[in-house]
A and B are shown apart, each in its own frame.
Chain A
């Protein structure tokens, strides 16, 4: 079963796969960002893959390599118990990857961390904001050109409340006219 998943991806998406290997038992395909959504959908829906669990999304900064970044998706099938690593090559200039939010609900949350740490822009993401760091943080700390000892300016008290509060105000505006019992 070792090469089965790689073959499946290659068969279904001939032009998409740049490279593949299963070194140390980790099946890996390396692809370009434009094919990501179709491949993820195949992996989720195909009867031979059934990869319903998106284990993790992370990124690697290879600094002097072109393309510089790699976003790594780890898919797993709870039923068939196999795993596939999908590595997406990302250029430094565009730094864009389509979001998998529609395919795997948890992807949106994990992509926020990658955006936070590496500054990768996930196109189509509904709520792409920092997750572990604060809004005013400058730069993306896990990039290799971010110094370990770099310090950040002191943040002034926030003038603006969080998004949710604004959202709430809009919500109140819209809903005030209605009676309380009809809302839900």
Chain B
């Protein structure tokens, strides 16, 4: 009898897959990406990702500018952590030029890079909580990010579009009261970190949404090119800062947090722990750095002093040539990579020996993460898409270039 009844229902309620267009500007996916979802009830059976809504021809533009003029464009890649892009690009060009930057410059880059990572992770955590309706946690996280951005503003003069990196150095030294500013922000950020743990980490609703959703195995993650916190959440301790230290990461002590299950909750926890590690790196760096020059003295890349420009013909010519013709980078190809906010940020650069790049390609983690995100979505519920998409932390500007 009961079986008959079920059979009748099955005949009547024949469920067809439904197509759902999610995006490009869905309020709960903070980034312009479109998912074409094929649904069976509430289960996603096929997900097709479409990116490119923010494409603005980064690579083509940079090919027609001088090497230095590329910096403002790199700001707009991952606009939540622009400093990391600046320094990543500078590092690549310096590798091709075979120049070394002074110690103090490396320390400044370490510190400012970690500040950027703080802002990146805080944004990701805050926005992720917001999308799960946890408005309070979002406000705390954004308060933390504001503190970071206040420091960034005091150092660089801008909050997001910083253009602070230079080939062979940085734009300016840190202000004198940097230590004080950092101490104030640091205390509040750690406070916020603790509050966020209290608000979210053992929160029943949050756990239900995050635990066991968007699961990646280590093999899957590597095969689909995942790097950064997403890869580390699966238990693979791959961090460029640790495995191939650049700047001064070999002189500071930090650990690489890894997860065990590779789900959304692990990705959240990995980011939370990386906040603490970043704070500790900045503390150590401020302690260890010493006064000194912040720019290399290589005349091929540095503008001569104003005194020389105004009072000698050689200085004037050198200034003119660097500004108008650009820095002459020797011909060759190079791939240089750093740890960005949401994964490995690489630059493949080709020079033909002139003042303009022949090619600048960005290995943008966001774009590559979007290539394999359907693996995380297919088979899960539609409501799982929201936290999964957030913890992958795709940034539109970087993904679409």
| Residues of chain A having any CB pair with chain B under 8 Å | 23-24, 26, 28, 52-56, 58, 60-61, 72, 74, 78, 81, 83, 85, 104-106, 108-110, 113, 117, 130-134, 141-142, 146, 148, 162-165, 168, 171-172, 175-176, 179-181, 183-184
Select from chain A the residue with minimum beta-carbon distance to B11.
A179
Given contacts A60-B333, A106-B372, A132-B51, 18 further A-B contacts (CB under 8 A): A52-B222, A56-B361, A58-B363, A83-B335, A85-B335, A105-B372, A106-B223, A113-B367, A117-B59, A131-B52, A132-B52, A148-B64, A171-B38, A180-B10, A180-B13, A180-B14, A183-B40, A184-B40
Task: Name, among B14, B243, B371, the residue most crowded by chain A CB atoms within 10 Å (CB to CB).
Answer: B371
Select from chain A the residue with minimum beta-carbon distance to B359.
A60
| B379–chain A nearest beta-carbon distance, Å | 9
B95 within 8 A of A: yes
Complex CA distance for A142 and B361, rounded to whole angstroms: 11
What are 25 inter-chain pairs, A to B, with CB distance below 8 A?
A52-B223, A56-B346, A60-B333, A60-B350, A60-B359, A83-B335, A85-B335, A105-B223, A106-B224, A109-B372, A110-B371, A113-B367, A132-B400, A141-B57, A148-B64, A162-B48, A163-B48, A164-B38, A168-B19, A168-B38, A179-B10, A179-B14, A180-B14, A183-B40, A184-B40
The answer on a CB contact under 8 Å between A55 and B363 is: yes
The answer on a CB contact under 8 Å between B332 and A24 is: yes
| A48–chain B nearest beta-carbon distance, Å | 18
Complex CA distance for A171 and B372, rounded to whole angstroms: 23
The answer on a CB contact under 8 Å between A56 and B244 is: no
The answer on a CB contact under 8 Å between B51 and A131 is: yes
Q: Which residues of B contact A183 (CB under 8 A)?
A: 40
The answer on a CB contact under 8 Å between A134 and B15 is: no
Given contacts A133-B52, A164-B38, A179-B14, contact A110 B368 (CB under 8 A): yes
Interface of A is mostly: mixed
The answer on a CB contact under 8 Å between A58 and B348 is: yes
| B56–chain A nearest beta-carbon distance, Å | 10
The answer on a CB contact under 8 Å between A72 and B348 is: yes
B17 within 8 A of A: yes
The answer on a CB contact under 8 Å between B368 and A106 is: yes
| A6–chain B nearest beta-carbon distance, Å | 15
The answer on a CB contact under 8 Å between B222 and A164 is: no
Interface of B is mostly: mixed
| B8–chain A nearest beta-carbon distance, Å | 11
B225 within 8 A of A: yes
| B76–chain A nearest beta-carbon distance, Å | 15
Complex CA distance for A104 and B84, rounded to whole angstroms: 28
Q: Which residues of A contact B332 (CB under 8 A)?
A: 23-24
Complex CA distance for A153 and B57, rounded to whole angstroms: 17
- In B1-59, the 8 Å CB interface with A consists of 10-11, 13-17, 19, 36, 38, 40, 43, 45-46, 48, 51-52, 55, 57, 59
| A40–chain B nearest beta-carbon distance, Å | 13
Q: Which residues of A contact B400 (CB under 8 A)?
A: 132
Task: Name, among A52, A61, A74, A78, the residue most crowded by chain B CB atoms within 10 Å (CB to CB).
Answer: A78
Partner of B363, one of A56, A105, A148, A172: A56
Given contacts A78-B222, A132-B52, A184-B40, contact A55 B60 (CB under 8 A): no
| A30–chain B nearest beta-carbon distance, Å | 11
B236 within 8 A of A: yes
Q: Which residues of B contact A134 (CB under 8 A)?
A: 52
The answer on a CB contact under 8 Å between B60 and A58 is: no
Q: Which residues of A contact B121 (CB under 8 A)?
A: none
The answer on a CB contact under 8 Å between A164 and B52 is: no
Given contacts A55-B344, A74-B335, A184-B40, contact A168 B361 (CB under 8 A): no
Q: Which residues of B contact A108 (CB under 8 A)?
A: 371
The answer on a CB contact under 8 Å between A109 and B223 is: no
Select from chain B the residue with minimum beta-carbon distance to A127.
B48
B238 within 8 A of A: yes
